[in-house]
Amino acid sequence: MTKWALFLFMLMLLPGCRQGEQTGSRGIDREVDLLLGKMTLREKIGQMSQIDVAALMKRVDPHGGFYGPFLEPNVLDKDSLQKYIVEYGISCVFNIGPHGYSIREWHGYIKEIQDYALHRTRLGIPVLYGVDAMHGASLTVGATLFPQQLAMASTWNPDLVKQAAEITAYEMRASNLPLTFGPSLDLGKHPVWSRLNESFGEDVLLTTILSKSTTEGMEGPGNSVDDKTRIATSIKHYIAYSFPLTGKDRTPAWFPEHYVREYFLPPFTECIRSGVHIVLLNSGELNGVPLHADKYWLKNVLRDEIGFDGIIMSDWYDIEKLNFFHHVAPTYKEAIIKALDAGIDMVMVPLDNRFMDLLTEIVNEGSIAESRIDESVRRILKLKYKLGLFEHPYRNPDEYPDFGSAGFRHVASQCALESVVLLKNADNILPLDRNLKVLVTGPAANTMSALNGGWTYSWQGHAADTYASEKNTILEAVRNELGADKLIYEPGSGFDSVIDINKAVKAAGLVDCIILCLGEPSYAETPGYIEDLYLPDAQTDLALAMAATGKPVILVLTEGRPRLISRFEEQMEGVLLSFLPGNEGGDALACVIFGDYNPNGKLPVTYPRYPNDLINYDHRYSERADHQFGNNHGYHPQYPFGYGLSYTSFGYANLQLSKDTIGPGDSLVVAVDIKNTGKVNGYEVAQLYIRDVYANLTPPFKRLRAFNKIFLFAGEQKTVRFIIQTEDLNYVGQDNQWTIEEGEFEVCIENLTTNFYLQD
């Protein structure tokens, strides 16, 4: 080896000089072109296709159809591997079998799939494997499970969200999973929606900031996804998925374009500008056009306007659904043409070979040019190179010593603690005196699945009690804090049906206080449909019966959306909530109940009072409850957006602005003094809202424009400063353009308000 060759070799071994950087993006482009040049049409179409692992697994009855049970332990079927991975050259495999796998099991399955791709296909292109990591690497047994996104949003802590995302990426890679379908950037504006818990809540700013923290944490600095601890993200679900008119998943949404641009688009734009690799589409329809066939939102806006050059990915089955579900294409074949014409690159097929066969026919007939196929394949191969899959198609789990470590668990515990929102504390019943005798009751008291929700060890999350049996339910955690002799447990009711309320009433006679754990069983997507936002009657009856005992009741809610409690809330002394805190949630709730931790979570969504009262906090002036014409049917929630109590109190004073008039391009400094006026240390989330007093399009009553979570010792005071730019005062006008109008604005922080003027 010459001196120069040795020098270059040593340079390649430097930590920053991995495959992506070594090849550089131009190098990758060259490699991609070379490979593409060798590919047949069939191989290219294989690269555009994604298959559900269910299609590769052995069934108990090989002829029993897709819904027949899997062989246990799960085994990959060699004929299916040969068919899909070798003959069709499928690019991407996703999803999990019926239950969670350890990192070694994942390694085994993925190595087997990869070996078919690498050694039995002509070109040896590695397969890309993806799963939903909605709250940690949550389909891997033994991984660190964080709160669901809505509970993470209740922390209002972007740094913590980023740390959780970094750990998730590490544990995904440890499981040999380099791709996730997430985070979800959907605005959680409809409380009935069964995927609300997968969102960061109803506000655009909070969603945008936390989405960026997540993608940055997962993809790493500079989106260096070839790093063995980072993964590629697929931001979803583009666009306007989360606010269907009925609240039911995958049903139509109707919004003027200016609303879509102002509310749904910003989180996507921000994450795309920070370099994410994939955009996963909305399975529903917007203004009568299914997003999978919407050239305007995919081509004109996503590609041309925002400049996204990554992969546009279809959601599950959604191309064929253009035909039989949405009825915009008379045949599957026409559906494929529409979807490709709209700009889709990769398709979740997900279960058979018809997509590949039909697309081959379509190209051979000339309805779609092969150059159009090349565009998509180029993007997909590029990502495979960037992820380092050609060099490391799989990794040895031993390379990940921190998987499931105590350090990672500590971060998950912190997330769970900060996700807890104290909503009511009459007569300071909380923290609870440890000398009291307590009855623990309710369906959510003794199950891990009510703490975790869906996407936990499986799609619906039903097996959390098996896989997380060493973690504490609320009951177990309270018992650990209090001692078994001071605690009685009676479930009283299931989630939907009564068990024995009388028994719980009798037990209440023997204690000083009741901890009532209500909420929801686990679910994901359509199985989470509900007809009624109220908590089911069985749980309401239990709550009313507990209140009637005259013993103080502390309601602990663990649920994926704000189920209504107005039929009994007034009779509860204390109310605590976490929107699914994950595996560490039982301990976190017990810590808060007994005062080991001072709660600081704030609601990332409005908690409605009545089913016909589903109004977001950023409603219009005309939706105010105190409207001058005596309208008291407006925004009158059980608890407002941003709300959350503490065991200490905070005083706000001296709200000051650096100027009272600003012009375009100026910035404004807003300062406020916050003092911890109570006796315990605590975190507070300072929230700055701005209200446009008059505008040509009816302005929202207020919008969150900045927030800052700070820690204050008892008695301590800090001045918090925010910088407001004139762009923070923009809105999208009827012409669908961002616009800024001069006039008066009000700044509101807690109970303080002041105003300023914007002049041209």
Residues in contact with ligand BGC by the rule CB under 6 A: 94-95, 132, 181, 236, 283, 315-316, 525
Of 96 and 518, nearer to ligand BGC (C-beta) is: 96
How far is the C-alpha of 119 from the C-alpha of 125, rounded, in Å? 9
524, 605, 513, 586: which is closest to 551 by C-alpha? 513
Contact 294, 340 (CB under 8 A): no
Of 316 and 332, nearer to ligand BGC (C-beta) is: 316
Of 57 and 368, nearer to ligand BGC (C-beta) is: 57
Query: Minimum CB separation from ligand BGC for residue 454, in Å?
Result: 10
Of 134 and 504, nearer to ligand BGC (C-beta) is: 134
Longest pairwise C-alpha distance within the chain = 88
Query: Minimum CB separation from ligand BGC for residue 181, in Å?
Result: 3
Residue 327 tokens, joined: 């009825």
Of 321 and 479, nearer to ligand BGC (C-beta) is: 321
Query: Minimum CB separation from ligand BGC for residue 283, in Å?
Result: 6
How far is the C-alpha of 438 from the C-alpha of 132, rounded, in Å? 39
Of 146 and 635, nearer to ligand BGC (C-beta) is: 146
Taken in order 205, 208, 211, 216, the sign of the CA dihedral is: negative
Contact 245, 285 (CB under 8 A): no
Which positions ≥6 away from 433 have C-beta within 8 Å? Answer: none
Q: What is the DSSP string of 224-289?
A: -TTSTT--B-EEEEETT-S--TTS-TT--B---HHHIIIIIHHHHHHHHHTT--EEEEPSSEETTE
Of 457 and 643, nearer to ligand BGC (C-beta) is: 457
Query: Minimum CB separation from ligand BGC for residue 686, in Å?
Result: 34
Where does residue 718 rank: exposed (0-12), middle (13-18), buried (19+ CB within 10 A)? middle
Catalytic residue among 227, 249, 315, 318: 315
Query: Minimum CB separation from ligand BGC for residue 279, in Å?
Result: 12
Contact 43, 89 (CB under 8 A): yes
Coil/strand/helix, residue 574: strand
How far is the C-alpha of 628 from the C-alpha of 52, rounded, in Å? 57
Query: Minimum CB separation from ligand BGC for residue 35, in Å?
Result: 27
Of 99 and 567, nearer to ligand BGC (C-beta) is: 99
Q: What does the CA dihedral 631, 632, 633, 636 come to, rounded to 10 degrees?
A: 140
Which positions ≥6 away from 14 have C-beta within 8 Å? Answer: none
Of 181 and 683, nearer to ligand BGC (C-beta) is: 181
Coil/strand/helix, residue 481: helix
How far is the C-alpha of 439 from the C-alpha of 435, rounded, in Å? 13
Query: Minimum CB separation from ligand BGC for residue 456, in Å?
Result: 13
Amino acid at 129: Y
Distances (CA, A) of 67 to 57, 60, 92, 461: 12, 11, 22, 18
Of 193 and 495, nearer to ligand BGC (C-beta) is: 193
Query: Minimum CB separation from ligand BGC for residue 104, in Å?
Result: 23
Contact 670, 655 (CB under 8 A): yes
- 587 is known as an active-site residue: no
Sequence length of the chain is 760
Q: What is the DSSP string of 72-102?
A: SS--B-HHHIIIIIIIS---EEE---SS-B-
697, 690, 595, 707: which is closest to 646 by C-alpha? 595
Query: Minimum CB separation from ligand BGC for residue 180, in Å?
Result: 8
Amino acid at 573: E
Query: Minimum CB separation from ligand BGC for residue 236, in Å?
Result: 6
Three-state SS for 583-605 is: CCHHHHHHHHHCCCCCCCCCCCC
Query: Minimum CB separation from ligand BGC for residue 527, in Å?
Result: 11
Of 74 and 283, nearer to ligand BGC (C-beta) is: 283
Which positions ≥6 away from 476 have C-beta within 8 Å? Answer: 446, 586
Of 187 and 603, nearer to ligand BGC (C-beta) is: 187
Which positions ≥6 away from 639 have C-beta within 8 Å? Answer: 423, 603, 606, 607
How far is the C-alpha of 23 from the C-alpha of 382, rounded, in Å? 12
Contact 91, 377 (CB under 8 A): no
How far is the C-alpha of 106 from the C-alpha of 542, rounded, in Å? 43
Whose CB is nearest to ligand BGC? 181
- Tokens 């008695």 correspond to 715
Coil/strand/helix, residue 160: helix
- Tokens 């909305």 correspond to 282
Task: Name the DSSP letter for residue 517.
Answer: E
Of 236 and 378, nearer to ligand BGC (C-beta) is: 236
Distances (CA, A) of 149 to 30, 138, 155, 419: 39, 12, 10, 10
Which positions ≥6 away from 30 have C-beta within 8 Å? Answer: none
Query: Minimum CB separation from ligand BGC for residue 192, in Å?
Result: 17
Query: Minimum CB separation from ligand BGC for residue 318, in Å?
Result: 9
User: Mind telling me the catalytic residues?
Assistant: 315
